[in-house]
Structures are given as structure tokens and as C-alpha cells.
Chain A
Amino acid sequence: MGSGINRRDWLKLIGGSAVGLMLSPIPWKVLDESAKWTQNWNWTPVPPKGRVNYRLTTCTLCPQACGVRVRCVENQPVGLSGIPGHPLNNGKLCAIGLGGHLMSYHPSRIAGPVTIDAKTRVPAPIPLEDAISRISGHVLAASGVAVLDMQPGRSISYIYKEFLAGLKHGTYTFPNQTDGINAGPVNRTTTSRFKSYGIDIDRTRTIISFRTPLLDGWGTLAQSAEIGRRNKKGSKAPTKVYQVESVSSRSAGLADEWIPVRPGTEAIFALGLAHVILEENLFDRTIKGGSENLWGERSLSELAGKYPLSRVSTITGVPDDKIAVLARELANNRPTAVIFGGDPVGGPFGDAEEIIFADLNILLGAIGPNGTIVPRPDLPSPGDHRQPRVDGIQLSEVPDHSIEVLLIDGADSGTTIPWQLVSRKLVPVNPRIVSLSYLPAGVACHADYVIPSPAYMEMYSDMPTPAGFSRASYNVSVPLMEPPASAIEPLEFLKRLAISTGSPNKASICSITMRELIRNRIAKIFELHEGEVFDADAGETKSIGSMASSRELVRILERGGCWTGNARSRVAGLTYKFLGNSDYQHVFSAMEKLADISGSASDIRLLPHGTRGAGSSGVNHPMMSKIYQESNLRLPSDVASISPSTGKMNGLSDGKPVRVKTDFGQTILKARFDQSIMDGVVQVQVGEETGTTARRESLQGSNTLDICRIESDSTWKTTSVQLSPL
């Protein structure tokens, strides 16, 4: 070994290096970096990388047609916001709209055509060809075929009408309108003949709402934001809101005053207001000349005379002095509007009731030269006029037991309705129900076949005028994502069906794509040469007249733009027919019936309520769990809210199960005591279900609406229930 490096030297070297290393950043950096392995687990997803761009479209999840700005990464939508300046939503979206791009990934999304086992309700895949041939067979053999369009007025709606015209007994139908102002009662009580009406919010100073969720979801987002803004204290153009309803709703809580009436007695209350207005001569002066049935026999005043304040007070539960004060407020703080859209899930008002509300509007001048209820023209139809089409009728007008094959379109974006309303139109033996939807949502849950359509943002669609908006409007929704291969556009399905059934209209139906159809409609709108267009890209509005051709309109509308028609002049020069002229007897007896039904104080009434569109369907994007599951903000649909005294009187305990039984069925819910709710009432939210983000293995369609009593006029206002602890 000799001189040279010995063991001690080696030790010195190693020791010295160790100390030196400690003084260098190396070991500390290594230690720090090693922490990364606790930070990146391979099952935590990595967000997408890439080029960010923005695209524009329209939301189709409910009829309000908000403009949507979509932030995309390599053309994959990652975030949504409203389009600023858009006439319908002015830069905002609702909670459901904000997650619209997530609907495509819902765990319960139906992957391909399926048949549903009648008993277990479990879907089983079926090849598309088989599905079409089976359904065609049913259609050809059927005595009556119908299409239930949950979102009527779209371009596809007209193609359904064409297809049905080629059948022996084809019916096109849609749910009775619950939103906005129904044209029927307005046209029956005036000489107006417009097809639809809206509310000019900008001019109203006082609003009385009968069950309309005015401050929490009514109308377009721009309209409800406007009302909210003007309803605040200290607002420059204040608008007062009175909410008349039985449900302790958010609108009731936010309104200037909540007038809690007994369930089903809203129209009686309106009659009480009319009584005061007539007696004290507070009605609008323009109706003096040329109105029928205001005074004398078989008139509104005779009817109102049967309901003096004391009687109205007994029936509705509102003190008579309050009714008088309110009536004077409404009359003296005009422009006033009576809005009676009804809660979307709480159901529409009956015919007779709507006539009373329309009459009240007339008395207050809301329909008239200075009024706030304004007419809107219908949108032109797409396609060639020469093709025969059936007319559409409301669901309530369809004869009972007449439909053997029912095609349902748009169940996932249409407000859910009680299945009874549909089922009683079906033949009792082996009706066949086909749903064109991509989620087991709403009425689609009762289907025998589901042919999955593309989701929102995966196909061309158009949105007609939203209910309640003051002018006609039109929007287009464009595809931003690829639908799954197994999704079939409803139009494509219809084409295959037309061919397979040998429809006489098949050539016409097969000749067009959705995109062409919509462009065709846009061209027709252009030809009206009226109105203006909001260009979302440029952020400005221009008149139709300034455009060279319809191609420009197409370009703008396919990029989140919005066409709005001219504001119509008020319905001036009208004459009025109070009580709808020939409806006199009908209205009289309907009011008597309502007065009776309001019943004894010990009756308990079921009050379902909920949001419109996809919000009521029970299946929403998974992020809605923030509201329904991860907080107490909104109640899921298995909770029955009651006042503590009603609960205790029936032996119930807060938080424990309760059996809710009606003459039409029963359901087990969880009781929830809430002292803001009136006695004798059970409030149930219809919509999101508990655990909704989980995948559903079967299509169970039942909800609280199934146990409601459906009246002959297709309303479901007052269902008596019995409550008992489990």
C-alpha cells in the first residue's frame, strides 16, 4: 500500500463531501422536489391544455333562450357565461345554464337506442335498425299516433307536423302553456286576435303575480333582473311586486308583500279585487265605451257581486281590508300588470280562472292603449308552405284514450308535467311511447323506447320567442361538440321513420337537414323586414333594414345573436268582452266550484312547485349538487315541507319519514318543519332528486305530480292529502 490514499483519507473525503454537500443547495432542492411525488397522483385529472377561444351560441335547456359565450380549449367547451348586451339575458346565465356543457357527460346519459322493460324499467340496448323497424310497425298499425313536443315552436316542430299529416290519424300536441300570458283568455275577452302576448316590463310600475315566480326565475333573465332591480328600495323607477300564492316561495319572500291565499283560491281573490275596483270606480277609463258584459246581467260585475269582500276573505283567508287596500294600490299606481303564469310545476290555471285574470288586466288597463300586455306576432314557419301539416293542439284538447303510439321530443329540456295528463290520452292496452332524449328526464322516464338525441351543444336547434317576452324573438343554437356516434338527431330519426313507414311526405322530410331548415326560417324572418338584430360578436344592435341579405342574418344568429321583432303598438281600439262573452255560465260555475273546493280548514293540500325547463326534469348537470346536495339551499324532491303545527297535528317529526297519501297514490317523503309555511299545506319541490349525480340504472318516472288530482281542465291545483308518520 505504501504512501498513497489510505482509509483515513477516504473517510476524510467522504466526511468532507457530506458536510460540503449539506452546504450546497443540492440536497435541499432534491428534498423539496421529492415533495412533488406527494402532489401528483395519477388519478387526479389533469386539465386540458391548448389554445383558448370563445364561441357563441344559445342555450336550449329551457324556453328562455339565453345567449351563451362558450370558453373553449382546443374547441372543447370548458366554461360558460352570458353574452353581455344580449336582449334576452344581458350577460347572465342561470345555475342550470352555467353547467350546460356538462350535460353531455351526465353519468345517466343514454348511450344508444334502448328498449325499456315494462316492469323493471331497466333499459336494454337495441340496434337502431331494429328500433326503427319496430317503431314503424307500431306506427303503421296504430289507431292514433301523436307527437308530444315539450318545446313547441322550434323548426323541428314543423317537420313533426308534416310527418303526422302523412298518417291517417296523426296529432301534434304540446303541454298547456303555464308561462307567460296565454293567448286564449286574452283573445276571448278582447277583440284582439294576436297569436301570443308578452309583458312590457319596462313600463310596469305595479305587478301583482298570481303564483308566477316573478323574482326567482320568471321570464327571461334580463326581465327578471330588471324587475329585481326596480323592486329594490331606493330604485329610480320603482316597481312594486305583490305575490299572491299559497307556496312560501322565494318570490314570496322577496316580494314587497306576500299575500298568502288558501290553495286554489287565487281567482276568487282576483274577483275580490275586481269587486273593489268596480265598486269604487277605479277601473281604467278607456274601457268605458264598447265593452260587453261589464255591467248588468251575466256580467263581470254581477259575478263580482256574488263575492263580496267578506266572502272572499273567508274563502281565501286574507282579511277584507287588506284586499281593499291592495285593489286601490293596483288601480292607483298604474301601469299595472296582472301576471298569472302559474308556477311551471304547480300547473296552469284553468280556463275560467284565466278569464278572470284577463278581466282584471282589462280593468286595470293592462290590456289596452296604455297597457303592459303587448301582442307579438308568430314567427314564420320554416320549410315549404305547400307541404300539408296538421295543426297543433294543446295536450288538454287531445281526446282521451286516442293515442296508441306517442313520440315525445324534448323531454330533457321541457318542463315536466304530471304523467297522468299524458297517460289518459293513451289507449289503455299496449300504448307505445318513444322518447327522443338523451337523459332519463321528466316524462321520458315512461318511455318504452329511447332513441338518444344529441345533447345541448351537440346539434343545430332553434329557440322561438320565450313566453312573456315583450317582442317576438328568434335564436339559434349551434353544435360545438361532437355527439357520440350512437346519438341520432330527431330529424334524422324522423327521416328513417318516414321512409320505413312509407310516408307520403317522406320526400319532403328527407330533403332537408336541420341546418338548412333553420336557415330557411331565418330567410323568412329576414323577409319580414322588421325588427333588429343583436350581433353578439360585435356587441352591437342593428336593424334588419341595414342588412344586405339574409346571409348576414344567418351569420349573426349562428354566433349567439338574437333577432327581436318590432315592439307592437299597444292593443288600442279594442272592445272588451268581459267573461269571454259566451263563457258566462262556465265562469260562474267554475268560481262556485273553486269556492267550494277551498274547503274546510282541516284539509291538507299538496302544493308541488319547481323551476321551468330542464330544472324540473329531475336530471341536471352534476354540478347542481352544489345546490341540492352539498348545501341546504334548495330542497331535493323527496322532502315535504310543512308548518310545525300541521306536522305535529298529524303526529309527524321533523326530519322523519312521512307517508303522503292522496286519492291517486302515495309516496314516502321526509318531513321538514318550516314555520314560514301556512298551516294545512304540504310543499314539495319537483325537480332535482337526491343523489342525482349518481348514475341511474333504471328509468323510474314517478314524482309528486303523479299523485296530484288532475282536473278536467288539466290543472292540478288542489289535491287533498293525508299525512301519517311511518
Chain B
Amino acid sequence: MDRNLISRKLDRAPLPRFVAWLVPWTLLLLIGLYAIYLCLAKGLNQTNMNNRFAFGLWIFLDLSVIALGAGAFFTGFLLYILKKHELRAVINSAVVLGLICYSGAVLVLMVDVGQPLRAWFTFWHPNVHSMLTEVTFCITCYLTVLAIEYVPIVLRNRRLKEVPSFLVFEFELHKVMPVFAGIGTFLSFFHQGSLGGLYGVLQGRPFAFREGIAIWPSTFFLFIISAAAAGPSFILLTTWLVSKISRKSLVKDEVIRLLARISGSILVFYVMLKCIDTLLWMNATAPSFGLTAMSFFAWKPFSIWILLGEIVAFGFLPALILFFGSRRLGKGWLVFSSILVCCGILLNRFVMTIQTLALPTLPFDKFTLYTPSWQEVAAFLFVVAYGVILYSLSFRYFNLFPHEPDLRNGKNQNGELVIQK
């Protein structure tokens, strides 16, 4: 029915099946929309956040999706600046994912703040000392960049391509894409870092506080590097997932392995830096507050195993697998490692947001637990559903994977034509 909207070179499921796929996500979207309405209409008492736990599930979500969505800027950087042309196979998908992640994050942020109508105050009365100002500015700009990068993908749709002015516009835009990629990288660098800086500057929270270079705490750099490591893994993972769900080959093997190797090498570097940072924190920073690092981990259920898990199981292990095994190991290992990497990133963000706040700071404080309310979870799932729907629509109507037509036409994963017997 919508065949003329879908590229001639691609096979896509019949419309009824596609709609059936969208239905549960749309339902989730609507439930989430209702939860968001409740929070905006009645106030943030609809959540389980409180004065001790001022940041909750949504901030964790924001930090996590932005870290995962770093694949967009990093892939763009690798492709347009470092000229790694293999990544052309996934750049479109990365841009859509980036757009989803960032727009989802901004949406949730608008629900999270008490007075969303005052969001423009940050631009009007910016505080140059605040990491959050930096984050706000950069994310807003970067979202714009992503939207601009998304436009050519849209305009290359089979029907839209037929409009001459769109074609011309898309062509011109494509010429300046490296500029946008460069801007995007620059902006991303800063806001990924500032998100880490958000916690690293909190001298009132010795668990999160880190020394650093000039005004930037070490978490600033660690967050950038971990995001750069997670980005390619996330792309790898999503590509594999979409490929599995759509039952199509979408990219050549060498792309997967390249992503794995990039992710692995950055991850190795990150794990080393993280270990150094952790040791510095345990032996110098925390004692300067008069606290021993182990005292932070005396609180069940946040024991030292989380830190070890983050560094070893979700950091060191997949780094080794990805770095050394990107050429030799089967794809299954690479996907598994990507999952570990992404989990590691999520764990790191979780520790920074949730564990920081759970720990008491005053001597007569207690350790605090927090479980999100259904409205918070529904809003979280809203973003997930929104992402799936937007991605599904993009996957169906736009040419997200340039390798797909070749692979469809009988070329195998190595690009060689295979004759069906």
C-alpha cells in the first residue's frame, strides 16, 4: 500500500504487519503520554523523587541515552573527519539513534524540571560557572545539528526525492555535512564531558567529587571517553538487533568488526584511566575530606562489587574481547561484548546519579533508597517507545543502511556476489 514510499532497492514487510508491530509501542507511547500529562498538570509529586533524592530515574535516563547516543557524533567524527569510509554503512542509523536519544532526553528533561515554561531562563541568565548551563547550551545546539543531519536522510526518501528542490537542497546540505559533523563533535565533546562534570564538581558529595584539570574534574574526561567507547558498541548492538528483528542483512561484516575494534581500543584506554582515577580518588581525594573510600561502600546494597563490576566485568572484559577479538571471534562474541559495554556505561551513570544521592552526607542522615513511581517508569518507556517508532518509520521509509541493497542482491557479507544454486 505504501510501496511507493519505500525505496525500490529494499524489501520491507507488508503494511499490516508493520502496523501490527507499531501497535504495542504506540500503546506504550500513549500510557507514557498520560503519565507525562499527570506530571505536568499535577506537579512532580507524581514521582517518587524527594528532597533527598532530587534526581531520579529520569536523570539517569538522560545521562544514559546521551552516552549511548554518542555513537552519532563519534561515528560522524570518524567518518567525516578521520575518513573511515566503512562507517558510511551505519552513519544514517547512528544519526537517527542520536536524534532519538537526544530528543528523548530533552523531552524527559522538560517534564523533570519544576517549571518547564522557564526553560529559556538558562539562556537568558546563564551561569558561566555551572556545568548544567554548558550542558543546556550544547545539547540544544547539538539537537539542532542532529536535526539538520537527519534532514538529508528524510529527503532521500523515494517520493521526496522526486521533488527537485528537495534534491538540490539535500545535495547542497550533503556538501556541508563534514562541517556539521565537526560542529557536532565539538559540541558533543563538551556536553558529554559536562554531564560528567555535573557530578565531579559536587564538593558537597565526596563520593562523586573528583579533582581534575583547571575547572574540569576527571569525570569530565572520563565521561567523554566512555561515551566514545560506548557509541560504537551501541551502534553495533542496534545494528545487530535491527538486523535480527527485520531478518535482513544490513551491513557488511567488516563494518561490525571495525566498530568493535574502535570500541575496544577506546575502552581499553578508558579502563586504564578509570583505574587511575579510582585509585587517586581512594587514596587522595576521599581522604582529603576525612573519609575513607571504603566507608562509601559499607552501605548495602551498594557494595564494592558494583565498582569492581563496572571496571572489570563491564569494562576490562569486553575491552579485551573487542580489542583482541574483533577480527578473530565470531559475531556473537562481539555482540555480547557490546552488551557488556553498554551495561557498563549504564552502570557508571547509575552509580554517579543514584548511588551518589543514596549516600548520606550528614552524620544524622540515613542511607536512602528510592524506587521510581509508575509515572516515572511510564515516561521512561515513552521515550523507548518513541525511539522504536521513530526508528521503525525511518528504517521503513528511508535508506538507513546503504549496504542493505547490496546484501539483498545476493552479495555476501564480504561484498562478493554469490550465485544462488
Smallest distance from the beta carbon of B45 to chain A beta carbons, Å?
13
Contact with B along A12-33 (1 / 0, CB 8 A): 0000000000000000000110
B117 partner residues in chain A, CB cutoff 8 A: 38
Cβ-defined contact, B118 with A38, below 8 A: yes
Closest to B117 in A: A38
B115 partner residues in chain A, CB cutoff 8 A: 38
Complex alpha-carbon distance, A31 and B123, angstroms: 12
Contact with A along B103-124 (1 / 0, CB 8 A): 0000000000001011001001
Judge whether A35 is part of the interface by a CB distance below 8 angstroms. yes
Could you say which of A31, A32, A35 contacts B118, with CB atoms under 8 Å apart? A35
Interchain pairs with CB closer than 8 A, number: 8
Contact with B along A568-592 (1 / 0, CB 8 A): 0000000000000000000000000
Complex alpha-carbon distance, A31 and B115, angstroms: 17
From 20 to 78 in chain A, residues with beta carbon under 8 angstroms from any chain B beta carbon are 31-32, 35, 38
Complex alpha-carbon distance, A35 and B117, angstroms: 9
Smallest distance from the beta carbon of A330 to chain B beta carbons, Å?
35
Smallest distance from the beta carbon of B360 to chain A beta carbons, Å?
14
From 340 to 398 in chain A, residues with beta carbon under 8 angstroms from any chain B beta carbon are none
From 79 to 126 in chain B, residues with beta carbon under 8 angstroms from any chain A beta carbon are 115, 117-118, 121, 124
A31 partner residues in chain B, CB cutoff 8 A: 124
A35 partner residues in chain B, CB cutoff 8 A: 118, 121, 124
B124 partner residues in chain A, CB cutoff 8 A: 31-32, 35
Complex alpha-carbon distance, A286 and B313, angstroms: 84
B121 partner residues in chain A, CB cutoff 8 A: 35
Complex alpha-carbon distance, A32 and B121, angstroms: 9
Complex alpha-carbon distance, A38 and B117, angstroms: 7
Complex alpha-carbon distance, A31 and B124, angstroms: 9
Complex alpha-carbon distance, A35 and B115, angstroms: 12
A38 partner residues in chain B, CB cutoff 8 A: 115, 117-118
Closest to A32 in B: B124
Smallest distance from the beta carbon of A385 to chain B beta carbons, Å?
60
Complex alpha-carbon distance, A35 and B119, angstroms: 11
Smallest distance from the beta carbon of A30 to chain B beta carbons, Å?
12
Complex alpha-carbon distance, A31 and B121, angstroms: 10
Complex alpha-carbon distance, A35 and B123, angstroms: 13
Complex alpha-carbon distance, A35 and B118, angstroms: 8
Complex alpha-carbon distance, A269 and B121, angstroms: 68
B118 partner residues in chain A, CB cutoff 8 A: 35, 38
Closest to B118 in A: A38
Among A31, A32, A35, max chain B CB count under 10 A is at A35
Closest to B115 in A: A38
Smallest distance from the beta carbon of A672 to chain B beta carbons, Å?
14
Smallest distance from the beta carbon of A318 to chain B beta carbons, Å?
30
Complex alpha-carbon distance, A309 and B217, angstroms: 67
Complex alpha-carbon distance, A496 and B121, angstroms: 64
Complex alpha-carbon distance, A32 and B125, angstroms: 10
Closest to A37 in B: B117
From 388 to 441 in chain A, residues with beta carbon under 8 angstroms from any chain B beta carbon are none
Closest to A28 in B: B124
Complex alpha-carbon distance, A282 and B244, angstroms: 95
Smallest distance from the beta carbon of A420 to chain B beta carbons, Å?
39
Complex alpha-carbon distance, A430 and B303, angstroms: 65
Complex alpha-carbon distance, A166 and B217, angstroms: 86
Closest to A31 in B: B124
Complex alpha-carbon distance, A600 and B115, angstroms: 61
Contact with A along B138-165 (1 / 0, CB 8 A): 0000000000000000000000000000
Smallest distance from the beta carbon of B371 to chain A beta carbons, Å?
16
Complex alpha-carbon distance, A632 and B118, angstroms: 34
From 73 to 126 in chain A, residues with beta carbon under 8 angstroms from any chain B beta carbon are none
From 355 to 405 in chain B, residues with beta carbon under 8 angstroms from any chain A beta carbon are none
Complex alpha-carbon distance, A32 and B124, angstroms: 9
Complex alpha-carbon distance, A38 and B115, angstroms: 8
Complex alpha-carbon distance, A38 and B121, angstroms: 11
Contact with A along B28-56 (1 / 0, CB 8 A): 00000000000000000000000000000
Smallest distance from the beta carbon of B163 to chain A beta carbons, Å?
28
Contact with B along A461-491 (1 / 0, CB 8 A): 0000000000000000000000000000000
Complex alpha-carbon distance, A151 and B200, angstroms: 60
Smallest distance from the beta carbon of A527 to chain B beta carbons, Å?
57
Closest to A38 in B: B117
Complex alpha-carbon distance, A32 and B118, angstroms: 11
Contact with B along A218-260 (1 / 0, CB 8 A): 0000000000000000000000000000000000000000000
Smallest distance from the beta carbon of B53 to chain A beta carbons, Å?
16
Complex alpha-carbon distance, A31 and B120, angstroms: 10
Complex alpha-carbon distance, A153 and B124, angstroms: 65
Smallest distance from the beta carbon of B365 to chain A beta carbons, Å?
11
Smallest distance from the beta carbon of A264 to chain B beta carbons, Å?
33
Contact with A along B342-354 (1 / 0, CB 8 A): 0000000000000
Complex alpha-carbon distance, A38 and B118, angstroms: 7
Complex alpha-carbon distance, A38 and B119, angstroms: 11
Smallest distance from the beta carbon of B280 to chain A beta carbons, Å?
38
Smallest distance from the beta carbon of B41 to chain A beta carbons, Å?
13
Complex alpha-carbon distance, A549 and B117, angstroms: 66
Contact with A along B201-236 (1 / 0, CB 8 A): 000000000000000000000000000000000000
A32 partner residues in chain B, CB cutoff 8 A: 124
Smallest distance from the beta carbon of B125 to chain A beta carbons, Å?
10
Complex alpha-carbon distance, A344 and B121, angstroms: 55
Closest to B119 in A: A38
Complex alpha-carbon distance, A32 and B123, angstroms: 12
Smallest distance from the beta carbon of B419 to chain A beta carbons, Å?
64
Smallest distance from the beta carbon of A39 to chain B beta carbons, Å?
9
Smallest distance from the beta carbon of A35 to chain B beta carbons, Å?
7
Smallest distance from the beta carbon of B130 to chain A beta carbons, Å?
19
Closest to B121 in A: A35
Closest to A630 in B: B51
Closest to B116 in A: A38
Complex alpha-carbon distance, A551 and B121, angstroms: 63
Smallest distance from the beta carbon of A36 to chain B beta carbons, Å?
11
From 164 to 191 in chain B, residues with beta carbon under 8 angstroms from any chain A beta carbon are none
Complex alpha-carbon distance, A584 and B115, angstroms: 75
Complex alpha-carbon distance, A32 and B117, angstroms: 13
Smallest distance from the beta carbon of B122 to chain A beta carbons, Å?
12
Complex alpha-carbon distance, A31 and B117, angstroms: 13
Smallest distance from the beta carbon of A625 to chain B beta carbons, Å?
15
Smallest distance from the beta carbon of A633 to chain B beta carbons, Å?
12
Complex alpha-carbon distance, A38 and B124, angstroms: 15
Smallest distance from the beta carbon of A266 to chain B beta carbons, Å?
32
Complex alpha-carbon distance, A528 and B118, angstroms: 69
Smallest distance from the beta carbon of B117 to chain A beta carbons, Å?
4
Contact with A along B71-85 (1 / 0, CB 8 A): 000000000000000
Smallest distance from the beta carbon of A184 to chain B beta carbons, Å?
45
Smallest distance from the beta carbon of B402 to chain A beta carbons, Å?
43
Smallest distance from the beta carbon of B51 to chain A beta carbons, Å?
10
Complex alpha-carbon distance, A365 and B211, angstroms: 68
Complex alpha-carbon distance, A40 and B121, angstroms: 16
Smallest distance from the beta carbon of B328 to chain A beta carbons, Å?
55
Complex alpha-carbon distance, A498 and B234, angstroms: 88
Smallest distance from the beta carbon of A693 to chain B beta carbons, Å?
15
From 506 to 551 in chain A, residues with beta carbon under 8 angstroms from any chain B beta carbon are none
Smallest distance from the beta carbon of A168 to chain B beta carbons, Å?
59
Complex alpha-carbon distance, A31 and B118, angstroms: 12
Smallest distance from the beta carbon of B291 to chain A beta carbons, Å?
25
From 13 to 41 in chain B, residues with beta carbon under 8 angstroms from any chain A beta carbon are none
Smallest distance from the beta carbon of A158 to chain B beta carbons, Å?
51
Smallest distance from the beta carbon of B76 to chain A beta carbons, Å?
34
* The 7 A-B residue pairs with the shortest CB-CB distance in the complex, in nearest-first order: A38-B117, A38-B118, A38-B115, A35-B118, A35-B121, A31-B124, A32-B124
B residues with a Cβ closer than 8 A to A are: 115, 117-118, 121, 124
A-B contact list, 8 entries, CB within 8 Å: A31-B124, A32-B124, A35-B118, A35-B121, A35-B124, A38-B115, A38-B117, A38-B118
* Other 6 A-B pairs with CB < 8 A, given A32-B124, A35-B124: A31-B124, A35-B118, A35-B121, A38-B115, A38-B117, A38-B118
